[in-house]
Chains A and B, each alone.
Chain A
C-alpha cells in the first residue's frame, strides 16, 4: 500500500516535467473545446480518490472479517 502511494506520488512529481512538452497530443486535446476536458480530468481525479478510499475501507473490513 505504502509502495503504491509512493509510486503515485513520484509519478505526480514527474508530471511537472511532462507538462512542459507543449506539443503533446494529450495537452492539445485538453486545451481544445474551451478547456472543458480539464474539468473532466478533475472530476475523474476526485472519483479515483473516492474509489481509493473504498478500496482502503474494504481492505480493513476484510482483515476484521478474518479475525472474527
Chain B
C-alpha cells in the first residue's frame, strides 16, 4: 500500500488515456460522433467503483472473521472512495445521455438501477452513522455490506439486460461490441480502465490512512 510504483503507473495510464482519448482516431458513428470518446472517461469510473466496492466487501468478510477494527475502517473508506466514482459515473452519464439520447435522465433501466445501487451504498453510510456503539456498528454494517454487494452486481449487470435499454450492453446486447470492436479504441480503453482503477485504489488508501490517524488522535 505504501509503495509508489503503482501510483506512478496509474498516473501515467490516466494521462496517456486522457491525451490519446482526445487525439486517437475513432470510428465514425451516427448520433454519437466524437461523443464516443466519453467511453474512455465514463466507463472507467464505474469499473473503479466496482473494484472499490469489491475491496469493501472483502474487508467486511475479513472483519466478521477476525473482528479487527482496521478491516472495518478499510471497508467504510473503500465505500467512500467508491461513492465518489459512482457519482462521477452517474453525472458524466447524464451529461452524455443529454446529448445522445436527448434527455439527461430518460428513466432508462440502466440509469435507474445505477441510481438505486448508489442509494444502497448511501444507506450503508447512513446505517453506520445511526449506530453509536463501535463493535455493533462494525458488525451490523459488515453484514449489510455483504448483502448490498450482490444486490449492486444484480442491479448493474443482470436486471438491465432483461429489458430494453438505450445503454449499450443491455437489452440482449452483451458487451460493447458494436463500438469497441475497433482495436484502436481498445488501445486507449483498457489502459484507461486500469489507470482509473489504480487511481481509485490510491484515493481509497489516502482516505484510509487519514481516518486511521483520526482514530488514533481520538
Binding site for B on A (CB under 8 A): 12, 15-16, 19, 30-31, 33-36, 38-39, 41-43, 45-46, 49, 52-53, 57, 60-61, 63-64, 67-68
Contact = CB atoms under 8 A, between A and B. Distances in A.
Given A34-B33, A39-B35, A67-B217, A19 B98 contact: yes
B38 interface: yes
Contacts of B18: 43
A26 to B, nearest CB: 11
Nearest to A31: B99
Interface string B184-218: 00000000000000000001001100110110010
Given A34-B33, A60-B214, 8 more contacts: A12-B94, A16-B105, A30-B99, A33-B34, A35-B33, A36-B34, A43-B41, A46-B45
A38 B207 contact: no
Contacts of B210: 57, 60-61, 64
A57 B91 contact: no
Contacts of B87: 49
B42 interface: yes
B92 A46 contact: yes
Nearest to B206: A57
Using C-beta atoms within 8 Å of the partner chain, give the interface range for chain B. 20 to 34
A46 B88 contact: yes
Nearest to A16: B104
A45 B98 CA distance: 15
B96 interface: yes
B103 interface: yes
A57 to B, nearest CB: 6
Contacts of A42: 38, 41-42, 92, 95-96
A62 B109 CA distance: 42
B37 interface: yes
B176 interface: no
Cβ-closest 5 pairs across A and B: A34-B33, A36-B34, A42-B92, A35-B35, A34-B34
B32 to A, nearest CB: 8
A12 B91 contact: yes
Contact of B207 (A57, A64, A68): A57
Interface in B1-35: 18, 21-22, 32-35
